[in-house]
């Protein structure tokens, strides 16, 4: 089948198409449109044409459209999950979990559409302000340029499209090249949900072509991007006065203090390390364990990792399947090999079959190794020991990234110390850093990005405050 662009409420053909293949077995999925610069401008034209309609639409109507989309997704949950599993090679049970989260994300967006509150300003609090009544309102920015990654092709789209619609904006969406079908499915759902033509446009193609036009066009009011630091930095440098939100990944760390219950926490941390082949921005990558628990923890962690089932993403039992691309598999393997050559112990894995990298556990990795200091985005984790809690916190902070971190401790003083001292966007006490629910503020510091997602917080990013003041005679 040929998948055309979605512009102005209808499909649009273009000159070039590219074969979309399964990362797992290489089977063809579709021929997907590769947008030209003029196609992107057409999408922006459509979003601009719909901008006034969306801005003037009553809040209850925007909420109703989002609620309609939720109802449709509930009816078509399995179809949505199968699309994700096929194009992303995400194990089916994980894909179903993503669909459930996507439904919840749009539900939160519907709620937030009805809660765009302003406030009254006591103007007479300042000399000269007497005889005035003032209040604020929140207005939509206009057109949102949304660029999303492959790893959560429906839910991360929802985190950009949901708040944009809730706030009354229009959207030009550029999904990841490997996972476009999820985005086109969402466009179809919103069409049936009653979203006006042009309010959501889906453009597939090369990141350079599509992204460059979105960033350069003055009609785009905001770029919201999830992806690599290199691309995020380029967007930030070229966006001019556009508002920008960037979520750029991490090498998330977890600290296991000396009083932690190893038997209880190992399954949880292992889940955080290997879910969807570790291709999660907040996947557990670095584990720092107190020296008194280190040996026991490492042995139990390897045992837990051995339980994971590897295979076809469409198999109900599969935990680990193919990486998104062969180049990502090769890159991760080269980082593993480098760490081992530098003295790390390979406790499990390190092998790959075709495009599937087996769950890998490394011990005592030097902090200068890429598998420690860069974002692995693979089913690879390393476990190192520490002797003092202060040392552990310093190890977590010794990173160019800062998205989320986890700390397992029964000492409330240490918990509060970690909460204060860890330089990250979110600190999860007695939980892994991979924890996220879709209404909480989510974002990072340092190379992990800027701005916050989570529907309420994204709506704030996508609105402009206006002050209205009445002078009373």
| 228 and 82, same domain (yes or no) | yes
pLDDT at residue number 354: 87
Rounded to the nearest 10 degrees, how much is the dihedral formed by the CA atoms of 292, 263, 428, 275?
120
**Does residue 36 lie within any of the structural domains?**
yes
Residue among 272, 273, 276, 269 nearest 356 (CA): 276
**Does residue 443 lie within any of the structural domains?**
no
CA Rg value for the chain? 23
Task: Please give the backbone phi and psi of residue 415, each rounded to the nearest 5 degrees, phi first.
Answer: -60, -45
| 231 and 278, same domain (yes or no) | no
pLDDT at residue number 123: 97
Mind listing the pLDDT tens digit for each residue in 181-213? Answer: 999 999 999 999 999 999 999 999 999 999 999
Mind listing the pLDDT tens digit for each residue in 15-68? Answer: 999 999 999 999 999 999 999 999 999 999 999 999 999 999 999 999 999 999
Task: Please give the backbone phi and psi of residue 425, each rounded to the nearest 5 degrees, phi first.
Answer: -75, -25
| 36 and 143, same domain (yes or no) | yes
pLDDT at residue number 324: 97
| 120 and 207, same domain (yes or no) | yes
| 199 and 317, same domain (yes or no) | no
Beta bridge partners of 225: 147, 246
**Does residue 440 lie within any of the structural domains?**
no
| 414 and 453, same domain (yes or no) | no
| 259 and 217, same domain (yes or no) | no
CATH number at residue 453: 3.40.605.10
| 241 and 260, same domain (yes or no) | no
User: pLDDT tier at 473 (50, 70, 90 boundaries)?
Assistant: confident
**Token code pair at residue 335:** 């980082």
**Does residue 209 lie within any of the structural domains?**
yes
Confidence check: pLDDT of 465 > 90? yes
Contacts of residue 61, defined as CB under 8 A and 6 or more positions apart, other chains included, come to none
**Does residue 442 lie within any of the structural domains?**
no
| 97 and 218, same domain (yes or no) | yes
Q: Which residues are catalytic?
A: 247, 281
Mind listing the pLDDT tens digit for each residue in 396-439? Answer: 999 999 999 999 999 999 999 999 999 999 999 999 999 999 99
Containing structural domain, residue 62: 2-248+448-471
| 192 and 321, same domain (yes or no) | no
The whole-angstrom separation of Cα 292 and Cα 136 is 57
Mind listing the pLDDT tens digit for each residue in 95-121? Answer: 999 999 999 999 999 999 999 999 999
Find how far residue 213's CA is from the centre of its chain: 22
Domain count, the chain: 2
pLDDT at residue number 368: 96
Distances (CA, A) of 457 to 113, 115, 238, 440, 442: 12, 12, 24, 8, 9
Query: Residue 434 in contact with residue 457, Cβ under 8 Å?
Result: no
CATH number at residue 359: 3.40.309.10
**Token code pair at residue 62:** 């925007």
**Does residue 28 lie within any of the structural domains?**
yes
| 57 and 93, same domain (yes or no) | yes
Mean pLDDT of the chain: 97
Per-residue 3-state assignment (H helix, E strand, C coil) for 57-77: CCHHHHHHHHHHHHHHHHHCH
Higher model confidence: residue 163 or residue 354? Answer: 163
User: pLDDT tier at 14 (50, 70, 90 boundaries)?
Assistant: very high
| 227 and 263, same domain (yes or no) | no
Q: What is the mean pLDDT of residues 446-459?
A: 97
The whole-angstrom separation of Cα 197 and Cα 47 is 9
């Amino acid at each position: 089948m040929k998948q055309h662009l979605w512009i102005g409420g209808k499909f649009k053909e273009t000159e070039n198409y590219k074969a979309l293949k399964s990362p797992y077995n290489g089977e063809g999925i579709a021929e997907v449109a590769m947008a030209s610069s003029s196609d992107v401008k057409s999408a922006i034209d459509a979003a601009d044409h719909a901008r006034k309609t969306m801005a003037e639409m009553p809040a209850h109507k925007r909420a109703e459209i989002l609620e309609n989309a939720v109802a449709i997704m509930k009816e078509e949950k399995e179809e949505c999950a199968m699309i994700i599993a096929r194009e992303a090679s995400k194990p089916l049970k994980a894909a179903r979990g993503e669909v459930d989260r996507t439904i919840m994300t749009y539900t939160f967006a519907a709620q937030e559409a009805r809660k765009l509150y302003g406030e009254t300003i006591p103007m007479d609090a300042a000399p000269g302000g007497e005889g005035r009544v003032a209040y604020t309102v929140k207005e939509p920015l206009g057109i949102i340029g949304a660029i999303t990654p492959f790893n959560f092709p429906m839910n991360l789209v929802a985190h950009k499209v949901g708040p944009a619609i809730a706030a009354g904006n229009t959207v030009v969406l550029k999904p990841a090249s490997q996972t476009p079908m999820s985005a086109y499915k969402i466009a179809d759902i919103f069409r049936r949900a009653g979203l006006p033509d042009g309010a959501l446009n889906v453009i597939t193609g090369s990141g350079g072509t599509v992204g460059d036009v979105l960033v350069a066009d003055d009609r785009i009011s905001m770029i919201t991007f999830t992806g690599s630091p290199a691309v995020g930095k380029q967007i930030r440098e070229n966006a001019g006065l556009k508002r920008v939100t960037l979520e750029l990944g991490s090498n998330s760390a977890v600290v296991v203090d000396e009083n932690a219950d190893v038997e209880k926490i190992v399954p949880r941390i292992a889940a955080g390390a290997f879910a969807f082949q570790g291709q999660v921005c907040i996947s557990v990558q670095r584990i720092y364990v107190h020296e008194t628990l280190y040996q026991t923890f490492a042995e139990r962690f390897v045992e837990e990792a051995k339980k994971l089932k590897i295979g076809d993403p469409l198999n109900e039992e599969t935990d680990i399947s193919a990486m998104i691309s062969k180049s990502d598999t090769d890159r991760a393997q080269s980082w593993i090999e480098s760490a081992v050559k530098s003295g790390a112990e390979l406790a499990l894995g390190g092998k790959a079959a075709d495009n599937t990298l087996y769950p890998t556990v490394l011990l005592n990795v030097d902090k200068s190794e890429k598998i420690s200091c860069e974002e692995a985005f693979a089913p690879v984790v390393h476990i190192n020991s520490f002797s003092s809690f202060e040392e552990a916190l310093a190890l977590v902070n010794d990173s160019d990234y800062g998205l989320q971190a986890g700390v397992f401790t029964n000492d409330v003083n240490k918990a509060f110390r970690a909460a204060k001292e860890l330089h990250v966007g979110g600190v999860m006490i007695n939980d892994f850093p991979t924890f996220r629910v879709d209404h909480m503020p989510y974002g990072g510091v340092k190379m992990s990005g800027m701005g916050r997602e989570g529907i309420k917080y994204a709506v704030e990013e996508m609105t402009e405050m206006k002050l209205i003041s009445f002078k009373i005679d």
